[in-house]
Structure 1
């Protein structure tokens, strides 16, 4: 999943990630990097989300001693809010997905869940903006340079995996990613089903360059904004306004990127629909069981009070 430096990303990284390639990834966009998975390890990841988020931010900017309390408190506030405000909405969407998964899937079905995930991402980013503004006002040129370097490293890995000069290897990498999420939801696929999915992967692979260009453009827009804040030190309210504009940028790309963005999205929706509608009754039953486990995990996380920093923030 692509990474833009913001406080919301630790809980909603997938919501601003590269466009989703299958039904499972569409659903996971509402869950975040560690929110929901049937395995206990991912549930534990959400329970330790404040530590993971701090580690991620520190990796990108090398948090200073002076910045650490501000950063940890902001993360704790975010997770306290997310647990209370967004996990119930996630549980509702998962219930809807469980009910829909046995029915024929249409593009409108996929778009519904995509729109819902984007709405959650908007709310999440909005919630994080005041604390994020405080953090941005403390960044140094060296920290911004480190952030840019990390973007470059991530882009190099992305190019190596998904933009391989060998067309066959490029297709294989995307196919493997699609099947990873498809199997997570539906279980195993027959060889005939796998061949049918592979035959439909072409439009997704063809849009890889455009998705990468959009990724880089968004990162550059972020770096331009962060450097502006560092250089001018505007009032906090103005920083929040700039963050609002950035949010609109990545959710509504400029005209020069809009056509490729729409083409990528349509290709992903078509592939998602094709995979869902080729599944057998047994695979659909597997998906329903999987969704129920995620629902149970979500409810457990809503009740969970084990995370001390989150509990302390919620009490304030």
Structure 2
């Protein structure tokens, strides 16, 4: 059933690229491992992160429906699954996210090193896997009900997304390719630190070389991940294994991408290290005033997390009466 839902302007910028800028990395697991993928890119103006989370059940359903065209029979259990996920997430993970944000708020005011950024990566991977594990039973239920035409639709949507990605970030002209990625990186850098001087921007461009060398690797990983997901969905749709087997296959899928095999580990690590190095460069180019801007921005996100937690506690109290 196609969702008749117009997303608010502030939440349209979705996380579709792999950039190691802190706020995105803190929330990137949400896109990578859960059905609430559309919420991650909401870290933009007009308090959109909190607004997006408050509308999370609607946004998540919109995203799922867009990819598989949820049937009338599938709609109630899908909405129920999304509601369960957000109820769990408010209680279990918002406090941990607030803790990570608080730590990073302290780090952005001083010199930044690679170990700090890698710690954030580890935090996002840990939280992401927890979120994925929570969603596995409901994902298995949905996957067991997918029809062949829904899987073909999902495959088509991936192809559309990849075509857009190639057009934006894999231009044939190297200079245009770098400029497109630079614009995206600076969107997130300005979100955290505010305005950058011309000299700072030139230094960031100059530092992008190693990161840009991994562009094709990142895209290949993206496509391979999608292909394996579609293959898994098609296998489940064809063979209809027992639910515990589907859950096991979902966990193996996550294992494969969270801990890549040897043939993929080296290019994956090289691309990751280049992103970490670029993040460190950007952070250490900033002025004291920009660091204050970053700390203020993180405090606003921390306040949003705490506000969302209070809202969740209030809803739980009302439900128990």
Tell whether the structures are fold-level matches, with TM greater than 0.5.
Answer: yes
Inter-partner Cα distance in structure 2 for 1:93 and 1:31 = 14
Aligned-residue offset at 1:312: 11
Aligned: 1:273 with 2:274: no
Aligned partners of 1:60 and 1:150 also within 8 Å = yes
Match of 2:153 in 1: 146
Gaps of 5+ in 2: 1-13, 32-37
Identify the structure with bigger relative contact order (alpha carbons < 8 Å, sequence gap 6+).
1
1:209 aligns with 2:208: no
Pairwise mapping of residues 86-101 of structure 1 onto structure 2 (< 5 A)? 86-101=93-108
Q: Could you tell me which of 145, 151, 160 is aligned with 2:167?
A: 160
Aligned position for 2:5: none
Counterparts in 2 of 1:154-233, with a 5 A limit?
A: 154-233=161-240
SS of match in other structure, 1:102: coil
Provide the C-alpha distance between the structure 1 equivalents of 2:61 and 2:314, rounded to a whole number of angstroms. Answer: 14
Aligned partners of 1:81 and 1:314 also within 8 Å: no
RMSD between aligned residues = 2.3
Please give the alpha-carbon distance, in whole angstroms, between the structure 2 residues aligned to 1:30 and 1:145: 26
Cα distance in 2 between the residues matched to 1:312 and 1:260 = 49
Distance 1:286 1:178 in 2: 17
Residues in 2 aligned to 1:300 and 1:30: alpha-carbon distance in whole angstroms: 21
Q: Do the aligned partners of residues 172 and 307 (structure 1) sit closer, same or farther apart at CA in structure 2, a change above 3 Å counting?
A: farther
CA shift in 2, pair 1:239/1:314, >3 Å: farther
- TM-score normalised according to structure 1 size: 0.89
- Pairing 1:75–2:75 present: no
Query: In the alignment, is the contact (CA less than 8 A) between 1:107 and 1:273 conserved in 2?
Result: yes
How many residues matched?
Answer: 300
- Give the match for residue 26 of structure 2: 27
Matched position secondary structure for 1:103: coil
Partner of 2:34: none
Q: Residue 307 of structure 1: CA displacement? A: 11
- TM-score, structure 2 normalization: 0.88
